[in-house]
Structure 1
Amino acid sequence: MKYLRRPAPFLDESFFEYLLRLSNYNGYQLASWIYYKVGTPSSSYIIKPNLESLVQLSDMTGVNIQTYHSMLNYLIDSKQKKSEIDAFIMRRGINSHSIKICPLCFKESSYYRAVWDINVLTVCHVHKCFLINRCLKCKSKIFHNRITIDKCNCGFDFCNLPILKADPEDLVLPSLIEMKLKKTEITSCVNKGFYNPLYNLSLEELIYLIIYMVRVISYFETKKKVLSFHADTSDKEFIGIISRSVSIFNSWPYEFYKFLDKYSEVKRYKLTTGIRSNFGTFQSIFLKSNSYGFIKDAFSEYIHKEWSNGHHLTFKKIDVVLEDRKYISGSEASRLLKTPWNKVKKLIEINELQGKIQKTQRFCRIFVSQESINDYMISREKFMYSKEVKNYLGICHDSVKILEENSLISRSSERSTQKYTYYHKTQVIKLLDVFDERLLKNCSGDSKCVNSSFIIRELGNCFFKISVFFKLVIEGVLIPRKKITGNGINQYLFDKFESKNAILKYKLNLSTPTNKILSSVDFSTLIGVNNSLILSWIKLGLIPRGNSNMFCSEDIKAFNMKYITLKEIKMSCNIDYREIRRRIDEIGVKPVSGEYVDGSKGYLYLRSDLVKHNILKDKGYIFKI
Structure 2
Amino acid sequence: MSLQLRITPSSDESLYSILFRNAVAYNFTHLSVLFPGDSNPYSLYSRNMNYFHNAIWQQALYEQGNMLGVHVDSHILNQFDLILFGKAPTKDQKQRVFASESTKYCIHCLREQYYHRLKWDINFITTCIDHNCFLIDQCPGCSGSITLSRLMQRYCACGHDFIKGEMDCLVPNELMISQTIIQALLVGSLDEVTLENGTVISSEDYFYLFNLMGRLLDYFSGKHPIFAEIPLSINKVNYLISNMMQYNQPRDVTMYSVLSAVIHRLIVDPESSFADVLVTVQEMSAGAGKGFRYKRAALRKLMEFSKSTTYLDVYKNLLKEVNDAYVLKFDICREIEDRKFLSITDTQRLLKISRKEVDRLTHAGFLNQVITGATKLISRESIDAWLYKRSRLLNSYQVSDLVGLSPQRIREMAQSGVLTPFSGHNVDGSFQWLFELKNVNHFLSETFKHRKEKDEKLEWFSFTRFYAKLRPQSISFDKAIELLQVGKFTCAFDKEQLNFKTVYILKSAVNDYLQELANERIASFGYTVSDVALLLGSSSSRVKRLVEIGQLRFTSQFINQWGTVSYYFDPDEIKKFINADKNKKKSLKS
TM-score between the two structures when normalised by the length of structure 2: 0.45
Which structure has the bigger radius of gyration? Answer: 1
TM-score between the two structures when normalised by the length of structure 1: 0.43
